[in-house]
């Protein structure tokens, strides 16, 4: 969960909690106030009716009492019913056309120690606040008045709905404001995170703008300083690595030259000496031994020449990368029994810089070595061509394939050093290396380097 999302959720959650809590509090408060007001109104109406009922009951004017109740019912919309009961509980007058409903008589009664009684009862017309008020202290009966609670419930419901709607509107507005605020606050952090990821991928030139915010600004300054130091150390590491590789190549060249010149010449002389002995007057018993020594010496000479070629092919220095790779790929296919082909395009009569030629040759050599070690391939192809201002090297096989990323970070020394070594060589000459491979679908190694061409014979 991102920090931006957390900020938005926190703001929205706070607004929602406050809105719902406020709505609940307002609903309870309004319900209490409205209920008290309804109780006072019911009591006032009951007292008013009790005053009229005393006079009419005193003269036994039941008709007048009935008329009075109906007029009162018509003039008060929220009054659902009125009934006047005598001291024995019998109905003297009421607004019910078919008599007092069953159960209403016992639904509310005045306790001996109280002046009146109010109770909420449920009817087929909704909740009704029933008031029982004694007439003349209860000596002449009781007035029962039912006051509808629909208006109260509607008012409370309407207020609750309005508050919830207001909460929803505020919540939507807070989501928008929270998103904009979170975006404003987290944008510098997002840029820092992206820059850190870029540095992790090796893009050490990555920098971030220093924001005005004090805390984030300090982090940005520290990040830029760290990236600067890393870039300097990486540049120094590459300079040292370039020197090490150059020294390595020089040492290879020296050893290859000594193998080819010194050991090769010595073995050649030994071979000629054995040939002279064999052609001379030696006994037939020793001739077979001399022939065996000549064969062993010849194989040793071939092995020394192969070692010199592996260490540093003279073709690379004298004729260039195209000729060196063409010879190496042909010898590679013959030696390992593979269909190996080489194709070069756009580099006829041209030489690359010595560092670039050496890097591409070693990368191709390592890639072909990996084919023998791991791929179990039947064929391999090497392509070297010029594309605009870039030189492209592709080594592709039809072998078993592998997961390139898993192999790179698997911790296997052979895999790590092979792939990382090729990447380092490509980077040292300003290029990039990409490996495309899937298990069962072969492997392709792509190298792209800046082109620094010099014509043959140029100084």
Q: What is the DSSP string of 231-264?
A: HHHHHHHHHHHHHHHHHHHHHHHHHHHHIIIIIH
> Do 339 and 306 reside in the same domain of the chain?
no
12-16, 128-132, 195-199, 365-369: segment of lowest average pLDDT: 195-199
Residue 376 located in a structural domain: yes
> Do 339 and 438 reside in the same domain of the chain?
yes
> Do 85 and 222 reside in the same domain of the chain?
no
Most confident of the following: 112-116, 310-314, 346-350, 407-411: 112-116
Contacts of residue 373, defined as CB under 8 A and 6 or more positions apart, other chains included, come to 414
pLDDT tier for residue 448 given thresholds of 50, 70 and 90: very high
In this structure, the strands spanning 379-387 and 432-437 are unpaired
Domain end: 159, 184, 218, which one? 159
How large a percentage of the chain has pLDDT more than 90? 14
Which pLDDT tens digit goes with each residue over 356-397? 988 999 899 899 988 988 888 899 999 999 888 889 999 999
Give the Cα-Cα-Cα angle 229, 234, 236 (nearest 5 degrees).
95
- pLDDT for residue 65 is more than 90: no
Q: What does the pLDDT read at residue 44? A: 92
Domain end: 312, 343, 363, which one? 312
> Do 364 and 410 reside in the same domain of the chain?
yes
Residue 194 located in a structural domain: no
Which pLDDT tens digit goes with each residue over 94-105? 988 888 888 888
**Spatial separation of the C-alpha atoms in residues 321 and 313, rounded to whole Å:** 10
pLDDT tier for residue 413 given thresholds of 50, 70 and 90: very low
Residue 189 located in a structural domain: no
**396 by DSSP, 3-state: which?**
strand
Mean pLDDT, range 196-216, rounded to an integer = 72
User: Quick one: how far is CA 52 from the chain centroid?
Assistant: 80
* Tally of structural domains, the chain: 3
> Do 287 and 337 reside in the same domain of the chain?
no
Mean pLDDT, range 135-142, rounded to an integer = 86
pLDDT tier for residue 455 given thresholds of 50, 70 and 90: very low
> Do 100 and 132 reside in the same domain of the chain?
yes
Residue 440 located in a structural domain: yes
The CATH number of the domain holding residue 384 is 3.30.565.10
Residue 335 located in a structural domain: yes
Q: What does the pLDDT read at residue 254? A: 75
> Do 280 and 347 reside in the same domain of the chain?
no
Contacts of residue 224, defined as CB under 8 A and 6 or more positions apart, other chains included, come to 207, 208, 210
Residue 168 located in a structural domain: no
Q: What does the pLDDT read at residue 133? A: 92
Domain with 86, as residue range(s), is: 3-159
Q: What is the dihedral sign for C-alpha 283, 288, 293, 295?
A: positive
Number of H helices, E strands in the chain: 12, 12
More confident residue, 57 or 1: 57
> Do 11 and 151 reside in the same domain of the chain?
yes
Residue 177 located in a structural domain: no
Q: What does the pLDDT read at residue 222? A: 81
pLDDT tier for residue 407 given thresholds of 50, 70 and 90: low
Q: What does the pLDDT read at residue 449? A: 92
Residue 166 located in a structural domain: no
Q: Mean pLDDT across the chain, nearest whole number? A: 82
Q: What does the pLDDT read at residue 388? A: 83
The CATH number of the domain holding residue 137 is 3.30.450.20
> Do 7 and 155 reside in the same domain of the chain?
yes
- pLDDT for residue 325 is more than 60: yes
Task: Tell me the sheet residues that pair with 129.
Answer: 120, 147
Which pLDDT tens digit goes with each residue over 244-302? 777 777 777 777 676 766 676 777 777 677 776 766 655 566 767 777 777 887 777 77
Torsion of CA 342, 347, 349, 353, to 10 degrees: -100
Domain end: 278, 312, 346, which one? 312
> Do 251 and 207 reside in the same domain of the chain?
yes
> Do 298 and 324 reside in the same domain of the chain?
no
Q: What does the pLDDT read at residue 282? A: 58
More confident residue, 454 or 1: 1
> Do 74 and 11 reside in the same domain of the chain?
yes
């Amino acid at each position: 969960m991102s920090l931006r999302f957390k900020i938005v959720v926190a703001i929205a959650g706070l607004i929602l909690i406050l809105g719902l809590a406020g709505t609940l509090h307002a609903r309870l408060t309004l319900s209490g106030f409205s209920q008290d007001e309804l109780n006072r109104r019911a009591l006032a109406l009951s007292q008013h009716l009790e005053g009229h009922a005393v006079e009419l009951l005193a003269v036994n004017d039941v008709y007048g009492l009935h008329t009075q109740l109906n007029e009162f019912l018509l003039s008060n919309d929220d009054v659902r019913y009125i009934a006047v009961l005598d001291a024995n509980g019998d109905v003297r007058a009421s607004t019910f056309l078919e008599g007092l409903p069953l159960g209403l008589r016992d639904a509310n009664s005045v306790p001996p120690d109280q002046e009146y009684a109010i109770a909420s009862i449920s009817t087929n017309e909704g909740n009704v606040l029933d008031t029982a008020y004694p007439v003349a202290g209860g000596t002449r009966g009781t007035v029962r008045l039912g006051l509808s609670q629909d208006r109260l419930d509607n008012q409370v419901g309407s207020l609750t709905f309005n508050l919830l709607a207001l909460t929803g509107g505020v919540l939507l507005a807070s989501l928008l404001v929270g998103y904009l605020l979170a975006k404003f606050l987290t944008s510098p952090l997002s840029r820092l995170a992206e820059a850190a990821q870029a540095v992790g991928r090796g893009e050490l030139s990555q920098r971030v703008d220093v924001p005005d915010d004090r805390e984030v600004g300090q982090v940005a300054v520290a990040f830029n300083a760290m990236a600067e130091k890393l870039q300097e150390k990486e540049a120094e590491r590459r300079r040292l690595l370039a020197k090490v590789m150059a020294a390595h190549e020089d040492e290879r060249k020296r050893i290859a030259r000594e193998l080819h010149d010194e050991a090769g010449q010595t073995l050649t002389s030994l071979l000629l000496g054995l040939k002279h002995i064999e052609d001379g007057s030696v006994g037939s018993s020793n001739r077979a031994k001399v022939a065996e020594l000549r064969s062993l010496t010849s194989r040793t000479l071939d092995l020394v020449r192969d070692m010199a070629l592996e260490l540093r092919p003279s073709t690379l220095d004298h004729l260039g990368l195209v000729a060196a790779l063409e010879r190496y790929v042909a010898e590679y296919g013959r030696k390992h029994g593979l269909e190996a082909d080489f194709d070069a395009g756009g580099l006829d009569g041209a030489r690359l810089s010595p560092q670039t030629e050496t890097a591409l040759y070693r990368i191709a050599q390592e890639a072909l070595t990996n084919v023998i070690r791991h791929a179990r391939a039947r064929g391999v192809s090497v392509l070297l061509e010029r594309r605009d201002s870039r030189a492209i090297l592709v080594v592709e096989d039809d072998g078993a394939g592998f997961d390139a990323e898993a192999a790179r970070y698997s911790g296997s020394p052979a895999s790590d050093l092979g792939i990382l070594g090729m990447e380092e060589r490509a980077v040292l000459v300003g290029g990039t290396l990409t490996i495309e491979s899937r298990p069962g679908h072969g492997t392709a190694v792509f190298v792209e380097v800046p082109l620094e061409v010099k014509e043959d014979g140029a100084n």
